[in-house]
Amino acid sequence: MNLIGIGIDVVEVSRIKSSLDEFGERFQTRIFTEAERAYCQKQKRPELHFAGRFAAKEAVAKAFGTGIGKEIGWLDMEIIRKPSGEPGVQLTGAAAAYATSRGVEQVMVSLTHAKHYAAANAVIMGG
């Protein structure tokens, strides 16, 4: 397996909280899947978890070298929690098609968040 790309992103939690407060449901449904929203909203500080998932999606898009846009949309990526507790990525729609065209075999993410920041790394491997 070869390295296709790596990506990193850091997000200020306050920026995500402001978007959640100002735009509410509209912001959430534009950026996050239904499952992501349900997970984050169950947490003590939802904005931390929304920020982590936002950073993870940005990191994945950077690892692909495309950014968020035509090839990969916000809702074409879902940041999941595997049974082991580690985060994972499910690609659907345009992102899944783009990944297939690039020979992607594995997308890995790592998330972290503190009081004021959330960060994520993404690594994409393929043939």
3-class SS letters over 51-106: HHHHHHHHHHHHHHCCCCCCCCCHHHEEEEECCCCCEEEEECHHHHHHHHHCCEEE
Residue 82 is a catalytic residue: no
DSSP 3-state assignment of 41? Answer: helix
User: Phi and psi at residue 95, in whole multiples of 5°?
Assistant: -65, -40
CB-based contact 113:14 (threshold 8 Å): no
Catalytic residue from among 44, 113, 115, 116: 113
Q: Are strands 104-113 and 87-91 parallel, antiparallel or unpaired?
A: unpaired
Q: Which of 62, 70, 82, 115 is catalytic?
A: 62
Question: Position 18: which residue type?
Answer: S
Catalytic residue numbers, as ranges: 62, 113
